[in-house]
Amino acid sequence: MQVAVTGGLGRIGRAVGAELAGHGFETVLVDVAPMREQGPGYRRADLRELWQAVDALDGVDAVVHLAATGVPDSHTVHPELAEGATYTANATSTYNVFQAAAVHGIERVVWASSETVLGPPFRIGGPAHLPLDEAHPVRPETTYALSKATGEGLARYFAHCRAMTLVALRFSVVMDRTDYTALPEYWAEPERGRWNLWSYVDLDDVALSCRLALTAELVGATALTVAAPDTLSDRPTAELLDALGGGVKLTRPLGTFESLQCSAKARELLGWRPTRSWRDVSVS
Ligand SMILES: NC(=O)c1ccc[n+]([C@@H]2O[C@H](COP(=O)([O-])OP(=O)(O)OC[C@H]3O[C@@H](n4cnc5c(N)ncnc54)[C@H](O)[C@@H]3O)[C@@H](O)[C@H]2O)c1
């Protein structure tokens, strides 16, 4: 199977490319960034242009769509312009990739949504219930999150109108071994993790989720939480709940260091079993 990985030169894109190549997939890395590497495995395209998306996906069997721009710099002089640019770039690119896949008759698209569709950083309202899961209302609070929520709406459209299968993976903050060494600083400021409920997911487990979503027996549009089963905090989850002010409805009891995001649906539908935790790495 030949798979196009958009955003293929980015952090997650490179890990997904390696994961797929290691499991017998042929990959085409699609990115707007200048490509030092050249050859059939690389295609340069600005996915904000539909024709470039259509060219980039020619001949592939499936797509992992990761290309996006992140939350704009908060120090920008005109934040409303930067926020608008983030929304427009991500929503447009996602539409173009889905449409290009439809043009080529590509039936499976796995793509990066985000935990932020459910409310992080929770500046306007707190969670409706915990742990966060697919039953939680979609309540974006930033234009980045809004672009991902729009993507989920677009996915439902293409599933309905073009009979495609689109799997949205709502990644938590993606971390790897090098990030874990900074955790003692993070613990020194317990409030730092509050914005996303002290959640994370390891880069290798993100790549694994993308590979599994390419072949999982699914139809239509599906959105799945992809977070590590534990928190990033060195404090028990009960203390983190206290720090949130209490009063948030718990849908079930939680383990001592259990995450406040629940990936049970990804486990069930993808067979995803996260393999890595910062707790397995020496960080002090
Ligand atoms: N890193 C995280 O913690 C995290 C968490 C949740 C969701 N995500 C999502 O995962 C995806 C990948 O994230 P990442 O951390 O690898 O980001 P990244 O910035 O490292 O990589 C993104 C890549 O997309 C490319 N790109 C951007 N705009 C493009 C365009 N118009 N056309 C073609 N290529 C374009 C960039 O050049 C870059 O190589 C993104 O969709 C992001 O929103 C990331």
| Digit-coded pLDDT (tens) for 44-66 | 999 999 999 999 999 999 999 99
pLDDT above 70 covers a percentage of the chain that reads 98
Is the per-residue pLDDT at 252 higher than 80? yes
Distance of CA 195 to the CA centre of its chain: 16
Which range (131-140, 158-167, 189-198) has the least confidence?
Answer: 189-198
CATH code for the domain defined by 2-176+200-229+261-276: 3.40.50.720
Task: Report, as an integer, the average pLDDT of 261-279.
Answer: 96
Residue 75's pLDDT is 67
Helices and strands in the chain, H and E counts: 9, 9
Distance 179 CA to ligand 1 centre (A): 18
Is the per-residue pLDDT at 135 higher than 90? yes
If phi > 0 it is left, if psi is from -120 to 50 it is alpha, else beta; for residue 18 that is alpha
Task: Report, as an integer, the average pLDDT of 170-187.
Answer: 94
Residue 131's pLDDT is 98
Q: Cβ(184)–Cβ(284) under 8 Å? A: yes
Please tell me whether residue 109 adopts helix, strand or coil conformation.
strand
Answer yes or no: is the C-beta of 13 below 6 A from any ligand 1 atom: yes
Residue 23 exposed, middle or buried by CB count within 10 Å (0-12, 13-18, 19+): exposed
* 227 DSSP assignment: -
Q: Cβ(68)–Cβ(8) under 8 Å? A: no
Is the per-residue pLDDT at 283 higher than 90? no
Distance 229 CA to ligand 1 centre (A): 23
Distance 222 CA to ligand 1 centre (A): 20
Residue 74's pLDDT is 65
Which tokens sit at 97?
A: 């990739």
Alpha carbon distance 65, 148 (integer Å):
12
Answer yes or no: is the C-beta of 90 below 6 A from any ligand 1 atom: no
Spell out the domain ranges in the chain.
2-176+200-229+261-276
Q: Which atom of ligand 1 is nearest to the CA of 201?
A: 3
Distance 111 CA to ligand 1 centre (A): 11
Task: Report, as an integer, the average pLDDT of 158-164.
Answer: 98
Q: Count CB-CB contacts under 10 A for residue 41.
A: 16
pTM (whole model) above 0.85 = yes
Distance 7 CA to ligand 1 centre (A): 6
Residue 78's pLDDT is 80
> pLDDT band at 36, cuts 50/70/90?
confident
> pLDDT band at 259, cuts 50/70/90?
very high
Is the per-residue pLDDT at 216 higher than 70? yes
Distance of CA 151 to the CA centre of its chain: 12
Is the per-residue pLDDT at 67 higher than 90? yes
For ligand 1, mutation pick of 66, 197, 226 (most atoms within 8 Å of CB) = 66
